[in-house]
């Protein structure tokens, strides 16, 4: 059984711990946060006692800790990851891994030098409906993938159960810490990753991007980078991705988490796949009049509609699956996602999008990014 420490007890940590509850291969032994109150509150959600720390360097001295999960703001990742790797700990780092390629390369290099696994935690790739859609793509049900289109709706007054304090967003609206982009840079890493995944990552590389954005104020305080439209181009004119983000004042999005919902469309040469419901579910009460229950729907070459609603669709399962993938990788039973080469490529796409945002949506070659936007 691997001993685990959670470093950073913010809002998202409550989902990260789900993968370790009732799990025989790994167990949380410690929680670390500069704010001891937050660390203690998170610890209470576990069915067993854990040690509480305010200094992560004290945790790294513990021989029983094999793996650390870094859930702190982006700019703090590099030093924590490097010191953890030097201490011989495997490291799972929340997206976005960092704000520059130079910083990322240092983390990856030190992990390799110390013979520990380092991966970026990207749970969207482990969301059960998306995994089912990937199976259909891999089986060739819809032929070659031509278009991957994400639609994200946000609502200022969703039917959400998550309390996210305004202070939680403070560092995310900082230019230095997050390029003042809580949506397109931070949450966007998930979407850039998913578009890349359905294009088989390096097989059909995303070569050029462009991003149009405007700003809205939330509660008169936070300048949010929405609406936004991101276009992902490949070398082939008929193969592209698009991510469309908007924010409404009051949409009936029912959610256990953030006040948003995603809808994914994958168009192939022989058919099309639709996936609805991820972080939220705007259509939960639509029944006969809307797109339907959360799950996977597809139209095949014969023109027949199909559906698979059998998989769990709550967003927490993406965290559970992602967590257990890394534990399996440490134990030699799986390949870790996102491994450094792929995680770096997604970061490079993210940084290229930031450059496009700052230059009136001008197209940016992904390979032109060698460090920062």
From residue 14, give the alpha-carbon distance in Å to each of 59, 250, 365. Answer: 20, 26, 37
Q: Is 294 among the domain residues?
A: yes
pLDDT at 187: 96
Say whether both 57 and 134 belong to one domain.
no
Say whether both 195 and 290 belong to one domain.
yes
Closest CA to 282 of 259, 305, 315: 259
Bridge-based pairing state of the strands 208-213 and 159-160: unpaired
Last residue of a domain, one of 72, 96, 121: 121
Q: What is the largest CA-CA distance in the chain?
A: 61
Say whether both 266 and 193 belong to one domain.
yes
Rounded distance between C-alpha atoms, residue 10 and residue 334, angstroms: 29
The residue ranking higher by pLDDT, 128 or 216, is 128
Domain that holds residue 7: 2-121
Q: Is 372 among the domain residues?
A: no
Show the beta-strand stretches assigned E in the chain.
2-7, 26-32, 51-53, 67-70, 90-94, 118-121, 145-155, 159-160, 208-213, 216-218, 222-224, 228-233, 240-248, 254-255, 260-268, 272-276, 295-299, 305-308, 364-365
Last residue of a domain, one of 75, 104, 121: 121
Number of domains the chain is built from: 2
Q: Is 45 among the domain residues?
A: yes
Say whether both 156 and 187 belong to one domain.
yes
The residue ranking higher by pLDDT, 218 or 241, is 241
Closest CA to 77 of 114, 25, 121: 121
Say whether both 17 and 40 belong to one domain.
yes
Say whether both 58 and 183 belong to one domain.
no
- The pLDDT tens digits for 62-78 are 999 999 999 999 999 99
Q: Is the pLDDT of residue 267 over 60?
A: yes
User: What is the domain-level CATH number for residue 65?
Assistant: 3.40.50.720
Say whether both 257 and 115 belong to one domain.
no
Q: Are 263 and 168 in contact (CB under 8 A)?
A: no
pLDDT at 290: 64
Say whether both 117 and 146 belong to one domain.
no
Say whether both 74 and 13 belong to one domain.
yes
User: What is the domain-level CATH number for residue 263?
Assistant: 3.30.360.10
Rounded distance between C-alpha atoms, residue 296 and residue 273, angstroms: 7
- The pLDDT tens digits for 94-141 are 999 999 999 999 999 999 999 999 999 999 999 999 999 999 999 999
Report percent pLDDT > 70 for the chain.
97
**What's the rounded mean pLDDT across residues 28-38?**
97
DSSP string, 40-67: HHHHTTSSS--EEES-HHHHTT-TT--E
Q: Are 257 and 232 in contact (CB under 8 A)?
A: no
Last residue of a domain, one of 98, 121, 144: 121
Q: Is 328 among the domain residues?
A: no
Cβ-count burial 200-227 (b if 16+ within 10 Å, e if not): ebeebbbbbbbbebeeeebeeeeebbbb
Predicted confidence band at 289 (pLDDT cuts at 50, 70, 90)?
low
Q: Tokens 């998550």 belong to which residue? A: 162
pLDDT at 287: 58
Side-chain-side CA neighbours of 363 within 13 Å: the count stands at 8
**What's the rounded mean pLDDT across residues 190-213?**
97
Say whether both 154 and 41 belong to one domain.
no
Say whether both 129 and 80 belong to one domain.
no
Q: Is 345 among the domain residues?
A: no
Q: Is 365 among the domain residues?
A: no
Q: Is the pLDDT of residue 219 over 80?
A: no
Report percent pLDDT > 90 for the chain.
83
Q: Is 326 among the domain residues?
A: no
Show the beta-strand stretches assigned E in 258-373.
260-268, 272-276, 295-299, 305-308, 364-365
**What's the rounded mean pLDDT across residues 168-183?**
90
Average pLDDT, the chain: 94
**What's the rounded mean pLDDT across residues 197-224?**
91
pLDDT at 166: 65
pLDDT at 169: 77
pLDDT at 288: 57
Say whether both 140 and 272 belong to one domain.
yes
Q: Is 160 among the domain residues?
A: yes
Closest CA to 190 of 130, 257, 115: 130
Predicted confidence band at 273 (pLDDT cuts at 50, 70, 90)?
very high
**What's the rounded mean pLDDT across residues 31-54?**
97
């Amino acid at each position: 059984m691997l001993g685990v420490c959670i470093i950073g007890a913010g809002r998202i940590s409550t989902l990260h711990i789900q993968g370790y509850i009732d799990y025989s291969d790994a167990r949380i032994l410690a929680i670390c946060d500069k704010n001891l109150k937050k660390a203690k509150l998170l610890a209470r959600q576990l069915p067993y006692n854990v040690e509480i720390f305010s200094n992560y360097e004290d945790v790294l001295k513990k021989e029983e800790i094999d793996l650390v999960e870094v859930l702190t703001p982006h700019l703090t990742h590099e030093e924590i990851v490097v010191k953890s790797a030097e201490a011989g700990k495997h490291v799972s780092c929340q997206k976005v891994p960092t704000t520059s390629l130079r910083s990322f390369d240092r983390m990856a290099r030190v992990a390799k030098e110390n013979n520990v696994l380092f991966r970026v935690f990207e749970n969207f790739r482990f969301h059960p409906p998306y995994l089912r859609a990937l199976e259909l793509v891999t089986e060739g049900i819809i032929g070659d993938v031509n278009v991957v289109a994400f639609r994200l709706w946000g609502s200022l007054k969703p039917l959400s159960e998550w309390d996210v304090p305004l202070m939680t967003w403070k560092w995310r609206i900082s230019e230095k810490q997050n390029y003042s982009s809580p949506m397109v840079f931070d949450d966007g890493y998930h979407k850039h990753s998913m578009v890349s995944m359905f294009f088989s990552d390096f097989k059909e590389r995303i070569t050029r991007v462009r991003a149009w954005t405007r700003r809205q104020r939330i509660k008169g305080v936070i300048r949010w980078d929405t609406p936004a439209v991101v276009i992902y181009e490949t070398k082939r004119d008929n193969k592209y991705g698009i991510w469309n983000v908007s924010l409404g004042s009051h949409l009936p999005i029912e959610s256990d988490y953030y006040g948003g919902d995603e809808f994914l469309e994958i168009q192939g040469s022989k058919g099309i796949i639709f996936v609805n419901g991820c972080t939220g579910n705007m259509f939960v009460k639509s029944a006969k009049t809307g797109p339907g229950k959360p799950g996977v729907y597809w139209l095949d070459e014969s023109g027949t509609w199909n559906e698979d609603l059998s998989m769990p669709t709550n967003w927490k399962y993406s965290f559970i699956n992602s967590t257990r993938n890394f534990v399996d990788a440490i134990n030699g039973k799986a390949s870790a996602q996102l491994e450094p080469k792929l995680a770096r490529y997604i970061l490079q796409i993210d940084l290229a999008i930031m450059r496009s945002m700052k230059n009136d949506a001008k197209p940016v070659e992904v390979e032109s990014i060698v460090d920062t936007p």
